[in-house]
Chain A
Amino acid sequence: MIGDANIVDFLLQFLGQFDGIDVIKAFSAIGAGTAMIAGVGPGIGQGFAAGKGAEAVGIRPDSQSDIIRTMLLGAAVAETTGIYGLIVALILLFANPFMG
């Protein structure tokens, strides 16, 4: 029977048998994958922008170029947070600050 406090000890003991660099690499890979969950937000946001853009073109087909321009601009701004997640993932994979 392992108590609450013992789980942490057990985990640290388990990780302690590996090389420190390997542990850092493994957790960095997990962190990079987790950081890319940020891609969900821009997906939803850009989908909203595209849907509303299609609606607007359906209502006023004559001002299509203006609508598309505004929509692309809004989609690009919505993309920013996803790009931040991508940058965090790239830093963890290629320029890892924890590896010294």
Chain B
Amino acid sequence: MEGPKIYGYIYGFPITQTLVNTWIIMVMILVVCAILTKNMQKRPGKAQVIAETIVTVMDSLVGQTMGKDKMKFAPWMLALIMFLAFSNTSGIYGLRSPTADLNCTVGLALMTFFMTQFFGLKSKGLGGYLKGFLEPMPFLLPINIIGEFANPVSLSFRLFGNMLGGGIIMALLYSALAGLYFFPIVLPVPFHFYFDIFSGLLQSFIFTMLSMVFISGAMD
């Protein structure tokens, strides 16, 4: 498993493989959305049923995890889980996963971090927000501040480590099987199933769940 390649520079900014693959995945999500929501009617067709199921499941998940009063976060969480699900499973169709790059995961985790702080500040007010750092005891203030900054670190490293570790194990497996005749076709299938599909979907679910828990925990 190599690091993301750099294709070129625009005004000094490197155009990496991660960036290009992210755009490819964005286009794929847009195409899927366009196909699923084309020609919507009162009596839904097959595509519309799939789209409605996804939205309903995500709505109920957000309602259960964050509470009924925070349903406004459901679209953002659905967008997050869709992007993560597509990019974590992109190893199957040959793209290097964008989430196997620390830049991408830190960006996503920082969004959750700033949303946590902003909505905590907004719903509790400045006094309540600052008082939250002094609980349960005032002398725990440094621990609370460190704990607040540890959230994005652990969130981003968890996703990055899982995706990169899976990719490295797959690359080692392929290099070990390279000399054999037909084994490279057969043997990697269960490993792809585990590392790309199962682990990828589980990690995207966990990232979204933890974002929901952090944000709703900061607001209550």
A residues lining the B interface (CB < 8 Å) = 66, 69, 72-73, 76-77, 79-80, 83-84, 86-87, 90, 94
B165, CB-defined interface residue at 8 Å: yes
Q: List 8 A-B contacts (CB under 8 A).
A: A69-B209, A72-B205, A73-B206, A76-B202, A76-B210, A83-B158, A86-B165, A90-B165
CB distance from A1 to the nearest CB of B (A): 47
Given contacts A73-B213, A90-B164, is CB(A84)–CB(B206) below 8 Å? no
Q: Given the complex of chains A and B, what is the CA–CA distance between A84 and B158 in angstroms?
A: 8
Q: Given the complex of chains A and B, what is the CA–CA distance between A83 and B164 in angstroms?
A: 10
Q: Given the complex of chains A and B, what is the CA–CA distance between A12 and B210 in angstroms?
A: 49
Residues of A within 8 A of B161 (CB): 83-84, 86-87, 90
Q: Is the interface of B mostly helix, strand, loop or mixed?
A: helix
**Size bracket, chain B contacts:** 10 to 19
Residues of A within 8 A of B209 (CB): 69, 72-73
Cβ < 8 Å to A, chain B residues 154-180: 154, 157-158, 160-162, 164-165, 168
Q: Given the complex of chains A and B, what is the CA–CA distance between A80 and B209 in angstroms?
A: 15
Residues of A within 8 A of B202 (CB): 72, 76
Residues of A within 8 A of B154 (CB): 80
The answer on a CB contact under 8 Å between A73 and B210 is yes
Residues of B within 8 A of A72 (CB): 202, 205-206, 209
The answer on a CB contact under 8 Å between A76 and B164 is no
CB distance from B167 to the nearest CB of A (A): 11
Q: Specify which of A69, A72, A83 lies most central, judged by the most chain B CB atoms within 10 Å of its CB.
A: A83
The answer on a CB contact under 8 Å between B164 and A84 is no
Residues of B within 8 A of A76 (CB): 158, 202-203, 206, 210
CB distance from B34 to the nearest CB of A (A): 31
CB distance from A77 to the nearest CB of B (A): 8
CB distance from B127 to the nearest CB of A (A): 30
CB distance from A17 to the nearest CB of B (A): 33
CB distance from B154 to the nearest CB of A (A): 5
Residues of B within 8 A of A87 (CB): 157, 160-161
Q: Given the complex of chains A and B, what is the CA–CA distance between A84 and B213 in angstroms?
A: 22
Residues of B within 8 A of A77 (CB): 210
The 10 closest A-B pairs by CB, nearest first: A83-B161, A76-B206, A80-B154, A86-B161, A83-B158, A87-B161, A73-B209, A83-B157, A86-B165, A80-B158
Q: Given the complex of chains A and B, what is the CA–CA distance between A84 and B87 in angstroms?
A: 22
Question: A79 touches which one: B64, B158, B168 (CB < 8 A)?
Answer: B158
Q: Given the complex of chains A and B, what is the CA–CA distance between A66 and B61 in angstroms?
A: 10
Not counting A76-B206, A90-B164, A94-B3, a sample of 16 additional A-B residue pairs whose C-beta atoms are within 8 angstroms of each other reads A72-B206, A72-B209, A73-B206, A73-B210, A73-B213, A79-B162, A80-B154, A80-B158, A83-B157, A83-B158, A83-B162, A83-B165, A84-B161, A87-B157, A87-B160, A90-B165
